[in-house]
Structure formats: structure tokens, C-alpha cells
Chains A and B, each alone.
Chain A
Amino acid sequence: MSSFELSQIQKKILEFLLENKEARISQLAKDLKVTQEGLFSVIEALKNSGFLDLRETEERFLKLTEEGKLYLKQGLPERRIVNLIGSCGELDVSSLYKLGLSKEEVAIGLKWIKEKNWGYIQKGKLIVSKVPEVGEDEKIIQLFHGAEVIKESEDIKKVTDVLVRRNLLTIEVKKDGIVQLTEKGKEEAQKLEKIGFEPQEIKVISSYDMLSGEWKKKKIKKYNLEAKPKKYYGGSLHPYYSFEEKIREILVGMGFEESDGPFIEPEFWVFDVLFQRQNHPARELFDTYRLKNLKTSLNFTENVKVVKELHEKTYGEPWSEDVASRLVLRGQTTCVSARFLFERKKPPIKMFVISDVFRSDVIDATHHIQFKQIEGIMGDYGVTFRHLLGILDEFYKKVGFAEIKFVPSYFPFTEPSVEIVAKHEKLGWIEMGGAGMFRPEVLKAVGVDFQVAAWGLGFDRLAMIALGIDDIRKLRTIDLLELRGES
């Protein structure tokens, strides 16, 4: 039996006995402030477990009957009779009645005078030789002056029996016992003493508790595993960015190196280098945002002359450097590819961009003015349109689309141009973005002599599918409730 299974009261008993060697149950009950009856069953259990020895005892408590109470006041009938006779002499038994004693009292009195050998009757006369001393029985009755109940001591036991027989006393028997520890009990008690008979219950172990070993003396409250924990919100990366990281990893894994450029670009890099005719709808293809009153200078841009010649020769219209130097928010990331090629110029090239583009539009569930593109180029002497389709196929398979289709399309900077549609099991065929082989004019504008396959794919659409969002505005949510997953 381990100490953990002992009840609190049992531990208290052991503690008491360790200190006091032995104890009377009735006293113990008083000290521990429990009922004696209750304590008995507890002690019984300890005894059965071998912790205690119990010597059972009985105690008798005396109480006067109504008759006894009367005699306490008047004296016993035999005493009253001998008192009437006095110290000498004799008296007619019949005259006793006249002296105020009832017939019954006279009978009882005479019986006990005879019994106690205080006198005798001769010829109708009671003869008492001397006034008898106060008897033991009378002394006992006298004890009841001022006490309702008295405890019977061993020495008066004989007398009380007589009084009980005379129906002057009643006896109540109370069981009691004396307990003391067995060896086993002592051991257990000592063990308990070490950890404390009443260990403190704690919820948290402090460093002090831990280092001092105090924690062993304490009871560690069991954690309620059913209860929900307190609300907690750690920081986290935005899901929109996390998805960007996923796409980045795919492209890095496919051997692409990353680049990016400014959001604000002159039209030169956004349109002219990409062979978009000035004053042409293609120029408004993306409904570009222009900056108010701001221009840049193309003075130090080496390929301006080349671009001017290409445009004027092909389109048969004058090309304006002024228009090319207007600043816009880029409507595509293809300008990053153009700048990259212009600076790098050496194949083989595999480059990607995941970054923001801007288009003049409304903002609703399906439209936004700012979104991301997944741009990529692959440049080398032997790169063909089929290689472009190959890399797109590989990319979309890695993103999770088993089936894609290629549809003829138009972009001013690629020829051939292709639109990619991918099959989604629920949404059907979805437009994913555009791709193509950079036109010779574009290659010339950036000064490379090898073939370049290029693509610009929609990032937000993919993210919406991956994140299970059907409103583009929620993609860049700024609401902490949503970001904490609570709305």
C-alpha cells in the first residue's frame, strides 16, 4: 500500500501516532474533530492493512432512573427508616406508615435493612442496634449531585450492578480502543513525514522547486486534458507569400535563377523594347497606370537607337523618345526579362521573376489592380517553341495540373504566341497565362543573338486555387481574424 492511496484522515492518524506512540480512539476523535463511530471504520481499515494494532476497550456510563433521582433527593428508603428510629431502640413497624413513608417504601426499606444487616424485626418491632454508616451504594448516588452522567470506574462495578438491579441506575456501554503503530505503520508514517503528511498541491513547478527538490514534496495537480488551452496567436507568414515561396522552390528546383526590377519603369522597357507599337492598342493592352508629371531620361540607355530604328522601319511611323521616357507602373514582368537579357547577354539563361504588376482596373471578387506574375525565360541557341511547351508542361505538372492545353494567342513581343489553359477537376479549363518565343526585334533590342522562350503566368489564380479562396481580395487579406483562421 503506497502512501498515495491513504486518505487524508488516515495520514493524520499515522502522523498523530508517530508523535504520541498510542492513542485512545475517543480522544483521537476529539482531536481530529471527527465522530468516534466514523473513526472506527477508518482505523479498522488501517488495522486491516497492517499499519495499526488496536486494543478494543469498553466504557460504561451511568445514569439515574427516575426512582434513583427521587432517592438522590430523599435518601434510600432503608436510610430514611433507620434515621427515624434513631440511634437506639426500636419501633413498631406499623407506626412507620404514620411517619410519612408509603407502604411500598416501607416494604423496600425493610427489605434492604434486612439485606444490609442493619437491623431485624422481632414481634412486630424493628430493632436497629446502631445507625449504620453511609454505604457504597449511597455514595454512588451522591456522585450524581451536579452530574447527569458519570463514568463507571472499575472499583464501583459491584455496587453499580446492585443499583442497576434495584432499577436505580441505567448503564450505557461505549466502545473505545487504544491504537498504536505497527512496525509497518511506523515505516509508512516516517515515509509520509518526509514528504509531508499534508503535501501542498501545485500547478506549476518553479525553478526553485526544481533545483531544491522541493517539487518532490509537492503534489503536482493533474492537468485537465479535456480543457481547451488559452487563446494564443503566434506570428506567421502571409499565405500569399507562403505560396510564392512554394512556386519559387519549384522554379529554383528546375534550375532557374531569380531576378526582379523596379515597379516603376519607363515605357521604353515596358513597351518599346518589347516591340509594342507606340499609339497602338497593344500599348493599352494592360491599361497601364502612368505617373503624373514624371519622366525619366533615356540618355544613358544604350539600346534606344536600335529600338527607334526597329520601330520606324517596321511600323513606318516616327518613334517618339518622349513617349518612351514616360514612367508607368509596369503592367507585366516581361520588362524584367528584357533588362536581364540586356545585362547578361550570355547563354545559357534560365531566369524567373515572381513579382507584382499593375493594371488599371476595378477591384472586385475577380479583378484587382495589383497582382503577381510568374515570369520566366529560357535562352540558348537551340531553344525552340517545343522546348517552351516542354518547360510549361513540366512547371504545371509540378504545380499540380496533370493536363494542360496550348491555344494560339497574341503578344506583341512573342511569335509564336501561346495561351496556356490548364484543367482543374472542379473549375474546368482555366486560363493560366501567356508565353511565346521572343520576336527577333525584341532580341535585337536587348542585344542577344540566341533564341529566347518567355512566359508570364498568372500567380494569383494559382494561389486562389491552392488556398481555396474564391475572392481575389481575400488573397491579400489584412484582417487578423482571417489570418488567425478565426472568421
Chain B
Amino acid sequence: MPTIKINYEDLISLIGKSFDPNKIKEVLPNAKCNIESIEGNIWTLEVTSDRPDHFSSEGISRTLKGLLGVEEGLRKFETKISDVEVIADESVKLIRPFIMSAVVSNLKLDDESIVQMMQLQDKLHDGIGQRRKLVSMGTYDLDKLGRKIFYKVMKLRDIVFVPLGYKNEMNGKEILEITEQGKKFRSIIPNDEAPILEDEKGNILSMPPIINGEQSRVTENTKNIFIDVTGLSKVRVEDALVVLSTSLCERGYGIEWVKVVDKSTSSITLPNDKNKELRISPEDVKKNLGLELESEKIIRLLRSVRFEANLVGGEVVVKVPIYRRDVFSSVDVIEDVAIAFGYNNLVPESYLMKTTGRPSEKKILERKAKLVMVGMEFQEVVTPFLCSLQKANKWNYNLGSKVIELENPSIEGYDSVRPSLIPGLLSSIRRSAHASLPHKVFEVGRVAVAVNSKVHEFTNIAAAISDDRIDLGEGYMRLFWFIKSMTGNEPKLEAFNFDNFLEGRSARIKVNDLFVGIIGEVNPDNLLEEGVRNPTVVWELNLEKLIL
């Protein structure tokens, strides 16, 4: 979940009414904002990814106003069509086809509001923007731009402007090579060209999704902001534009939607600013929440969480604020009814159901296997499902199979799925070097390998005995007892050459003509390599195959 920082003073000034900080702390969780830490005026909040309108203090203040009773019902925005126009060239269609824009006017900005605006853009970039790939956005001081903005693709060498935060002009190639953003996001755009925004005076304003120009930088003196959102998904472009412009609007007067003219077809696109309408009935609320509420009560509750709600023909017609991009169906509204009612005011209730509880057959089997092992004085250990590729390859004795690797490992040594429980047991023995002998350990756990690119996952049991003097026989007698007590059958051994085991002390285990596992004395060279200081015998069985 995203983490954001807000300034408490700024939040209070946005709410427009002073409150005890404790009151704010109390209601924030009901806005799905959890306080992580407070340092002076800076509050760090964990917000939820479904509410991008909560990625900055403006949107949070709007929700809090409702919960605190300062302002209820739908937040209405003054909107009109701007005289600024964006003309989209055909060249963008293959690279970054969608653009939407708006102007937010009559702003009063200060340092904090710029911090919040940048934070909101960052979080939108990271979230629905998928790190700017699907959506990116920029904000500009409108009064430094012309009124016609062209969105087109240019060769990198022809793109020349002063990027935001730099003093000198650079060309597109230099921007990608020199600026932080260039280096970080260059993979999103083609190698030799990039989309740009240019005004009718021929000034290049920005190079989405990489960087804006210094010339139109937003400062605390900026009165009117032009916003551009470009991307690969029209829905997301619109989501981001609506959230960003409605948030900025909390510090300004109104929103002007910018017409986007498709240069080749002359068709015009504008963002949809109609409030979504949903209908819910008291029965819906009862069915979902188990709460009997009158329509009037539902309406009151919904208004306190910033919906417009009216009774129409026995149903509550709900108007959804345009920044609530998370509301898809009536259940989303019903959750808000529950939040407004207060989760902790809902009395937990028992549901009587005729069911029989029982552990799964598999867990019963595993438990039985574990008890047999414990009966033989083995200690259970639990080792990770992931291990290093090197170890996985070394211990993959499953014929014709390949080790499964992770595409995105996060830690060294945990980049592959274990094909066997044995390396885990050996690491337990190594770790237990200071414990007195013998070391008798076992594990019941899952392993997986790929056979012909198909994943095979199964539950194994493996045991190891490490002692001053130990041989295959010590392992075999216990294996024999294990199989006999689990199945009533007696295993047979068949010679099997495996590099990690001593030659002549290594076998496959056969039960009823089915190979179910391996047993062997681990090669001493191998043991020393693993950091094990005593002779060790191991066996491993596929528990599922054994019981079949």
C-alpha cells in the first residue's frame, strides 16, 4: 500500500476548521488512512491503492470534511471547457496514443501545496501509471504557454529544451543520458524518438513520460496550471487527470477541461465528468451488511462520506463523486455505508451452519508421517521452499526434470524452487554443528520441478542422520520401518548412481514396483562442501506416490 506524507497545518487549512489532532487521528482510519508515524507537523500515512484521491492532503481533506461533519454530500466542481486546445498528431498513435488535459485556475499555492502536487503525481505515476509506462503526467504554469498545444513525436536529436531542474538546453538524446528521469524511464520510449508537447510558439514544453521543461515550471507564484496526462490506456489517462485536477482544484477555483483534437480525424475528446449513478435499496444493505437501515438513514450516512443520495421510488439513487475511481457497483457504495455507520458499531453476529469440521486428508497423512518420524527420535525442521539455483541443480535427482527459477528473486540464495528437501536438512545439520550428536532431522514439505515446461509440485518427506559413525544401513532400517508402518509394504533398493552420494552406497527406493525416492550416504567431499562435519545418510520419499 502506498505511503504518503502530509502536513498537519496544511490539512487543517484545507479542512477550513480547526480540530484537535486526536480527533483527526481518530477519524483517519475511517478514511482508510492509517497513521504510520508523526514527526512534528509531518504525518506519514499508509493509504489504500484503490483511493488515488487520497494520495495527497487535498483529497484526504475532502473525505475528512465529510467524516467530521464540516461539509457533506457531493463535492461539486465548477467546470467549463477551456480555450486551450491540444492537437494530437497521428505520429503518437503507435507510441503513446492517449492524451487528456485540463486547466485548474485561480490557484493559491505555497511550498506545501507544490510538495503535495509532486507527491500526488509521483504516486499516480507509480500506481495506475505502472511507473510511468501506462500513464504519465505533467503540470505547467499556464501563463507561460501558448493556447495551442501540439502533441507529437519527434526525433530525439530535434528535441531541444531546458529540462526541469537544469540550466542548459539539451537535446532528446542528452536528456535520456544525462538527467535522472531520462536514465530511469528511457526504456519506456523508442530508441531514437520521443513524444513531446510543443506550443504554437514552437517551444518544447515537455517530453512525456520523461521530463518537463524548466521554462514552464510551477512555482508558488503560479496562478493557473495546465495538466497533461499521456499514456497507453485511455481509462487510466482519464482516471489520473480527474484525480489530479480535482485535487488541485481544492486550492483553486475551477476546472477547465481541454479539448483534444485528433489531427487526422478532427474528432474531439473530453474527459467524462458526469457523476456515475448507482441504485441501492435497504434490502441490498441488509443482505450485504446484515444491517437494517431506513432509506433516510442510508442517505444521511452516504452524504457523510461525500456521496449525493436521494430517494427515488423506494430506492436510493447514489451519485458518485468523479474522483472516486474505485466505485464500480453497489457493493462499493455499501462499504461506504458501513464505514459511515462505523465498523465498530456493527455488532458481530453468529451464523448457524450445519457443517462438519475436519482436517484435510493430506494433513492427516502428513501428521501420521511426522509422528512415525518423531517416534524414531527424529527432530522436525522447517526449511524454505526457495533455495539457490546452484543447490537446486545439485540436488535435483528427479530424472528428466528441470529446476524452477524465479524471474524476480529478491534475495541472493533464494532464487529457485527446491527440487528436494535434502539440501535443507543438510543446512540444518550444518547450523547445528554445536549440538551434540547424533543429529537426526526430518522435514515434510513441498518441492517442485518442471518437466517439459510443466510444473510438478509434490509433498516429500526426507530424513537425515549425521553421526560419528553412520552408514546406509542405519538409514535403511529406519526407512524400512517408516514405509512399513505407513503402508504395510516393504521397500526394495535398487542401485542408483548420484554424484552427491558415495558410489555403492546409493539407491533408489522401490515400493510395489514404483520408484518413490532415494537413499544414500552423502559423499564426504560433498558434506565438507556443505559444512557438515560428520558422516551423513539421507533418504527422501515422495509422500503422495508412497500412499497411492
Contacts and interface: CB of A to CB of B under 8 A. Distances in A.
Interface in A276-327: 279-282, 285, 287, 289-296, 314-317, 327
A362 B357 CA distance: 37
Interface stretch (A83-91, A110-118, A158-166, A479-487): A479-487
A317 B239 CA distance: 13
A329 B338 CA distance: 34
A282 B362 CA distance: 32
B407 interface: yes
B435 A479 contact: yes
B373 interface: yes
Interface string A355-380: 01010111100000110000000101
B351 A383 contact: yes
Contact of B349 (A260, A314, A390, A440): A390
A50 interface: no
Contact of A386 (B346, B367, B434): B346
A481 B2 CA distance: 41
Interface string B263-304: 000000000000000000000001111110000000000000
A386 B385 contact: no
A296 B405 CA distance: 15
A28 interface: no
Interface string B14-38: 0000000000000001111010000
Contacts of B143: none
Contacts of B411: 362-363, 369
A448 to B, nearest CB: 15
B293 to A, nearest CB: 12
A128 B408 CA distance: 145
Contacts of A279: 130, 134, 233
Given A264-B404, A290-B408, A235 B357 contact: no
A483 B381 contact: yes
Given A369-B411, A412-B50, A348 B348 contact: no
Given A378-B351, A480-B428, A369 B128 contact: no
Contacts of B453: 293-295
A410 B49 contact: yes
A295 B51 CA distance: 32
Contacts of B457: 262-264
B413 to A, nearest CB: 9
A18 to B, nearest CB: 53
Interface in A244-273: 245, 248, 251-260, 262-264
A384 B293 CA distance: 14
A418 B343 contact: yes
Nearest to A363: B411
B331 to A, nearest CB: 4
Contacts of A287: 410
B450 A252 contact: no
Interface string A415-430: 1111000000000000
A91 B441 CA distance: 120
A263 to B, nearest CB: 6
Contact of A235 (B126, B289, B373): B373
8 contacts: A235-B376, A240-B382, A255-B357, A291-B404, A384-B286, A386-B347, A386-B349, A476-B383
Interface of B: 1-2, 29-32, 34, 48-51, 126-128, 130, 134, 233-236, 286-291, 328-329, 331-332, 334-335, 338-339, 343-344, 346-351, 353-360, 362-363, 367, 370, 373-386, 404-411, 414, 417, 424, 427-428, 431-432, 434-436, 439-442, 446, 448, 450, 453-455, 457
